Amino acid sequence: MLIVQKYGGTSVGSVERIKAVAQRIAQTASDRSVVVVVSAMGKTTDGLVKLANEISSNPCRREMDMLLSTGEQVTIALMSMALQELGVPAISLTGAQVGIVTEAKHSHARILHIKTERIEEHLQLGEVVVVAGFQGISHSRHQEITTLGRGGSDTSAVALAAALQAEKCEIYTDVPGILTTDPRIVPEAQLMSEITCDEMLELASLGAKVLHPRAVEIARNYGMPLVVLSSWSDEPGTRVVSAIPKRRALQDLELTKPVDAIEYDTNQAAISMLHLPDSPGVAAKLFSGIAVQNIDVDLIIQSIHESNTNDIAFTVGKDTLKQAAAVADAILPALGKNSDPSLGEPEVKTEERPIAKVSLVGAGMIGRPRVAAKMFETLAEAGVNIVMISTSEVKVSCVVDAEDCEKAVNCLCQAFDVDVADISISSAASESEELPPPVRAVALDIKQARLAVRHIPDRPGMAAKIFGLLAQQNISIDMIIQSQRCHHVDGVLTRDIAFTVSQAEAETAYQTLANAALEFGWGEVVLESGIAKVSVVGSGMIAHPGVAAQMFEALSASQINILMIATSEIKISCVVEEEDGVKALQAIHKAFGLSGNEVIKVPA
């Protein structure tokens, strides 16, 4: 029986901690084979980054990998010595010595395959094998040292567990497991005994750094049992559970097909509300009105526009369209008027044409920007216009005209090489026996920026153009919002597109789009950095009316203005001003009753 255990930075932050962890490993090793993956000690990696930045503001990525990979090398040697001191035979190995073969991309290489021979040899000899996390070696001729991206030791551990066909992978960290939110911001956060891979994938990509999203992706794809637990206690921690996956080869481990199915739903209708005043409480009023009627809302998008008025668009089941539109109409007077009458009167528009939602289902979509770009390109080539877009780590959906649905599904099946048999009507997907909670956890990401491109011609291919250009630079995007409002520019119907990117990539994204805007004659490109994104995640929110309303009400009660809203099947995200981020997270966590009576203490 083989088990892979990973110990993060804080868990091995001092010699005392390394000795304590060695005791733990010795215990496990008494009746099992153990492979241990470790991170650099404490904040070593941050320290190395700082050193590099003292020499260069833009250091060469190859040298950066050379530098950062040293952190883990210190820990493996010390851990191996600590085990040997306890009389446990142990050997340390770097990523290169194991043969953790990656793409030849510095600073965020994906794992291609892992050679298991050397590790197996040592295990046969009864040794504990201590492997350096976060690092690999490129498949190219020069066998360069690569790193997997910050937080990547989790990914090393789960990939090793998959390659070695371990019984399970345990991730030991400084908190008791996966909590309802980051205990450093909300100390009353509660431990969950279980979470699904899909929920954890969303959370991880929305800012919960307790697990590297790519680690969860590998666990899901290979059905590897994954547990997150504290290296300070003997509590059982949190299990990350997944459905039994299809068999996958261990070659191209992290390059596997990210899309496993196409879904469509023709039971959708859309409503837009335009020119709403930009003040706290507008979304709350609207969606609580709708929740009172027990109407299930699917997608919601809201974006602010020039002149500071808001548009909100949302979809509901066809049979509830009239009822939902009546609520929207009735609520309009209560939303107030725009202070400046020239900004236009608030109005409700119901979409006359029937619409359909077509989705890619899989894992790791935000992390692979090419996927969404390819979806948009495929639809554009087929002449399908996209009405609304919703993105997430496990699903990318486009709302299209119902008459284009079949064409869209067919061309997407072909482009992503998924079987037509995989197509399901998404509304049927929610009939599980045991209902998961509507909101499992909440997350905050304060390292986000907002970009908007104004006045883009409203015709097929525009989303493909924008997100294709960004994907070429490997820039991940989230919360894509196409305005429902149209402008006529020189006789051409145009719309705005807004989205969020990480602050680290915002400047590159801005430059790319500003150049494209000049070339294609789009309007202005606007970058705003001071934003925060708060999100709620839970697979039980499917077919559970009122979750969005509850989130918006919590923000409204705290007088927090919502700048953008975007939802996907199991998540709702709101962009707020950066200084409101922490307050927003705390308010939402409380509103969903996620707080416990005990306070979580995180070791320093």
Residue 134 binds which entry of Mg ion, ligand ASP, ligand ADP, none, with Cβ cut-offs from 5 to 8 Å by kind? Answer: ligand ASP
List residues bridging with 408 in a β-sheet: none
Site for Mg ion, residues 126 to 155, rule: CB under 5 A: 151
Task: For the chain, give the number of residues.
Answer: 604
Residues 362, 357: Cα–Cα separation, whole Å: 16
- Told to check if 283 binds ligand ADP by CB under 6 A, we report no
Say if residues 485 and 495 touch (Cβ distance below 8 Å).
Answer: yes
Closer residue to ligand ASP, CB minimum distance, 152 or 346: 152
Q: Where are the beta strands (DSSP E) in 188-308?
A: 194-196, 226-230, 238-241, 259-277, 297-304
Q: Which is nearer to ligand ASP, 8 or 364 (CB)?
A: 8
The residue among 212 and 465 lying less far from Mg ion, judged by its C-beta, is 212
Among 175, 286, 289, 269, CA closest to 231: 175
* Residue 602 beta carbon to ligand ADP: minimum distance, rounded to whole angstroms: 5
Contact between 41 and ligand ADP per CB under 6 A: no
| Residue closer to ligand ASP (CB basis): 13 or 152 | 152
Given candidates 50, 115, 184, 459, which one binds ligand ADP under the rule CB under 6 A? 184
Q: Would you count residue 133 as binding ligand ASP (CB under 6 A)?
A: yes
Shortest reach from residue 589's CB to ligand ADP, in Å: 10
Q: Considering the rule CB under 5 A, would residue 213 count as an interface residue with Mg ion? A: no
Using CB distances below 5 to 8 A depending on partner kind, what does residue 573 bind out of ligand ADP, ligand ASP, Mg ion, none? Answer: none
* Selected binder of ligand ASP within 13, 71, 136, 468 (CB under 6 A): 71
173 binds ligand ADP (CB under 6 A): yes
Largest distance between two CA atoms of the chain: 81
13 is an interface residue for Mg ion by CB under 5 A: no
Helical (H) or strand (E) element with 326? helix 321-331
Whether the CB-CB separation of 392 and 480 falls below 8 Å is answered with: no
- The residue range among 203-211, 264-272, 528-536, 569-577 that interacts with ligand ADP, by the rule CB under 6 A, is 203-211
- Using the rule CB under 6 A, give the single segment among 107-115, 151-159, 213-221, 303-311 that binds ligand ASP: 151-159
Kindly tell me the burial class for residue 422, based on how many C-beta atoms sit within 10 Å of its own C-beta (0-12, 13-18, 19 or more): middle
Q: Verify binding: residue 150, ligand ASP, rule CB under 6 A.
A: yes
Q: How many contiguous H segments (helices) and E segments (strands) does the chain have? A: 16, 27
13 in contact with ligand ASP (CB under 6 A): no
One of 10, 39, 92, 181 touching ligand ASP (CB under 6 A): 39
The residue among 9 and 468 lying less far from ligand ASP, judged by its C-beta, is 9
Residue 565 contacts which entry, Mg ion, ligand ASP, ligand ADP, none (Cβ below 5-8 A, type-dependent): none
The number of CA neighbours under 13 Å toward the Cβ of 521 is: 5
- Name residues whose C-beta falls within 8 Å of residue 283's C-beta, 6 or more positions apart in sequence: 300, 302, 312, 548, 552, 556, 562, 565
Q: What is the b/e burial string over 258-273, where b = at least 16 CB atoms within 10 angstroms of the residue's CB?
A: bbbbbbbbbbbbbbbb
Q: Quick one: tokens of 23?
A: 């005791």
Dist. CA 262–CA 362, nearest whole Å = 9
User: Quick check: 156 and 119 in contact, CB under 8 A?
Assistant: no
User: Which listed residue (26, 36, 40, 253) binds ligand ASP by CB under 6 A?
Assistant: 40
Residues forming contacts to Mg ion in the complex (CB under 5 A) are 8, 151
Interface residues toward ligand ASP, by CB under 6 A: 8-9, 39-40, 45, 71, 133-134, 150-153
Binding site for ligand ADP (CB under 6 A): 8-11, 39, 151, 173-175, 178-179, 181-184, 208-210, 441, 602
